[in-house]
């Protein structure tokens, strides 16, 4: 149920536009956006070639997770230090609305309308923040939630991976109720969906990590591929041919061709973290936290080829790809 905002642990931060990036108004996609901590530096960079286009600052923010809305108009950000989430307008980074939540946010999503923000926190909670009213819904999702994904095509469900008990929790967002729990054979660390929502992809860490593809309706296993150790971050190309998993333990990006069954790995750097595919392409981007850099990797019939590198002011913590509406 909707509950009033409790001043003890929930504080509405902003309901007005606040500019964070002077001169950003003329920027347009496609661009990448990188976030550095602890100063709140924001770097807009070209996706090809990878070079700095403009820089700004989210003063007082330590962005640990970010997502761009499907229509490319809004940016959701999560501050792991101050336990905040906010919705920003692109490209100016105007803060439209934000709030402190009860726990350190680990991941964040935004719906297509920009009316709802979703987050998971380190205390085992899933949050829905209503941007217009400043009200919250919250559910318990067990131990050590790490990543969440909204299921296409209508984003009617949120799926949350919880490493503490090897589970994935399904939340019906219209009724805001927990509807299912999936038990994984290894510790899940990330989840992605096919564009039509018919399949879901899970990265799992272990002595031998793996990426698995499941049918979303039956929950049945379709395919799986061994790679790295983890924790693994996951990305899937729009045509679902390639799956990329970056491994924080080995510092490598593992790429799996689901058609041929072939697999490759590419050095990314120390503490490899978030990875993302550009839309409608076989171009993948991956980041190294400790080397504070981003790599662009082109994937062809002969396999992956590192193509470009972009260094970010210390310390790179996350990045998004801001592209035109699909």
CATH number at residue 203: 2.130.10.10
Flag whether pLDDT at 99 surpasses 60: yes
107 inside domain: yes
Residues spanned by the domain of 70: 11-22+29-322
6 inside domain: no
What's the mean per-residue pLDDT of the chain? 91
71 inside domain: yes
Q: b/e for 282-306, b at 16 or more Cβ within 10 A?
A: bbbbbbbbebbbbbbbebeeeebee
> Which residues does residue 236 pair with via DSSP β-bridges, in sequence order?
243
Indicate the number of domains in the chain.
1
5 inside domain: no
237 inside domain: yes
293 inside domain: yes
> Which residues does residue 172 pair with via DSSP β-bridges, in sequence order?
157, 177
The owner of tokens 């850099």 is 293
301: confidence class by pLDDT, cuts 50, 70, 90 = confident
Q: What is the pLDDT of residue 18?
A: 52
326: confidence class by pLDDT, cuts 50, 70, 90 = low
> Which residues does residue 183 pair with via DSSP β-bridges, in sequence order?
167
pLDDT tens digits, 15-48 = 344 556 878 889 999 999 999 998 899 999 999 9
3 inside domain: no
Question: Alpha helices, DSSP H only, in 36-89?
Answer: none
Long-range contacts of range 302-310, CB-CB < 8 Å, 24 or more positions apart? 303/255, 303/262, 303/264, 304/253, 304/255, 304/264, 304/266, 306/266, 308/48, 308/49, 308/50, 309/50, 310/32, 310/34, 310/45, 310/50, 310/51, 310/52
Flag whether pLDDT at 1 surpasses 80: no
What is the percent of the chain with per-residue pLDDT over 90, rounded to a whole number? 84
SS3 176: coil
122 inside domain: yes
**pTM of structure:** 0.92
């Amino acid at each position: 149920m909707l509950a009033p905002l409790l001043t003890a642990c929930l504080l509405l931060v902003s309901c007005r536009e606040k500019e964070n990036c002077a001169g950003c108004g003329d920027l347009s996609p496609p661009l990448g956006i990188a976030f550095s901590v602890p100063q709140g530096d924001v770097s807009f960079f070209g996706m090809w070639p990878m070079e700095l286009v403009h820089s700004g600052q989210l003063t007082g923010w330590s962005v640990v997770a970010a997502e761009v809305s499907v229509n490319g108009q809004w940016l959701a950000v999560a501050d792991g230090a101050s336990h905040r989430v906010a919705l920003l307008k692109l490209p100016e980074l105007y803060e439209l609305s934000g709030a402190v939540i009860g726990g350190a946010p680990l991941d964040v999503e935004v719906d297509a309308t920009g009316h709802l923000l979703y987050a998971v926190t380190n205390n085992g909670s899933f949050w829905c923040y209503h941007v217009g009213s400043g009200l919250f819904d919250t559910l318990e999702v067990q131990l050590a939630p790490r990543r969440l994904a909204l299921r296409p095509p209508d984003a009617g469900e949120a799926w949350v991976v919880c490493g503490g008990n090897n589970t994935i929790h399904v939340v019906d967002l219209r009724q805001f109720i927990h509807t299912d729990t999936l038990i994984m054979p290894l510790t899940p660390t990330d989840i992605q969906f096919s564009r039509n929502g018919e399949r879901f992809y899970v990265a799992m860490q272990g002595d031998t990590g793996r990426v698995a593809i499941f049918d979303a309706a039956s929950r049945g296993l379709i395919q799986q591929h061994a790679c790295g150790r983890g924790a693994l971050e996951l990305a899937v190309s729009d045509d679902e041919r390639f799956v990329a998993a970056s491994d924080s333990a080995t510092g490598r990006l593992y790429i799996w061709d689901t058609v041929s069954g072939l697999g490759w790995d590419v050095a990314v750097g120390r503490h490899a973290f978030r990875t993302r595919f550009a839309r409608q392409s076989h171009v993948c981007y991956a980041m190294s936290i400790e080397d504070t850099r981003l790599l662009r990797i082109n994937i062809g019939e002969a396999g992956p080829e590192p193509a470009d590198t972009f260094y970010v002011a210390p310390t790179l913590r996350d990045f998004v790809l801001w592209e035109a509406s699909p």
